[in-house]
Amino acid sequence: MDKNKENQKFFFYTPEIFYKDSNLLVKKIKDDIQKDKPFEIALGIARGGIVLAYYIATNLNISKFYTIRLKSYINMEQNTMEIIQEPPWEKMRDKKVLLIDDLVDNGITAKYLFNLLRIHEIKDFKFAVLVNKQKDPTLKPDYFVRTSDKWISFFWEQSYSEMRI
């Protein structure tokens, strides 16, 4: 297959684009929290959302940073959701939580996480991503920078370097 045609199916998130879009996302969140109380906890979704979550938490001065690690994709295919590592749910109750991931695709992971948050009685949360790819109008992230229908390949992923060569 023609490499240029294959690359048109992808959006390559270079470090420069990531930095620019991450700053835009931080600004959107800062503008929003000027009207409300700041976030007390950042919850990064591993693996894809960890780099972004750390960057946002640092720039918003959110000192409590937890992660949840889920697995649902294997080789660009969605599979059954599996929890690999959970955060300390009890420490998040009655706190304002910012849930952060790199992107929302078909919404399965987000819906699964929203359900977990409800189960653990975490009621005050918002959801931030760089890229909103999903089409479900009931699942719009609170904060996002881009929309896309392409496969997103971030600079820290193996597919990025393989496809960019």
User: Domain of 74: which CATH number?
Assistant: 3.40.50.2020
Domain that holds residue 54: 10-164
| pLDDT at residue 154, as a whole number | 85
pLDDT at 62: 96
Is the predicted pLDDT of residue 137 greater than 60, yes or no?
yes
pTM: 0.86
Residue 157 placed within a domain:
yes
Position 75 in a domain: yes
Q: How many domains does the chain have?
A: 1
Return the pLDDT at 77: 62
Reported as a single tens digit per residue, the pLDDT across 11-23 is 888 999 999 999 9
Residue 1 lies in a domain: no
Residue 1: the pLDDT is 46
Instruction: Give the C-alpha separation, 65 to 58, whole Å.
Output: 9
Mean pLDDT (the chain, rounded)? 86
Residue with tokens 């078909």: 106
Lowest pLDDT segment from 6-10, 35-39, 127-131:
6-10
Q: Determine whether 59 is exposed, middle or buried from the number of CB atoms within 10 Å of its CB (0-12, 13-18, 19+).
A: middle
Residue 18 lies in a domain: yes
Residue 28 lies in a domain: yes
> Is residue 141 one of the residues assigned to a domain?
yes
**At 136, phi and psi to the nearest 5?**
-75, 110
- Percent of the chain surpassing pLDDT 90: 56
Angle at 141 between CA 150 and CA 93, to 5 degrees: 135
Classify residue 79: in a domain, yes or no: yes
pLDDT tens string 82-122: 888 999 999 999 999 999 999 998 888 888 999 999 999 99
Please compute the mean of the pLDDT values over residues 52-62 and round it to a whole number.
Answer: 96
**Residue 125 placed within a domain:** yes
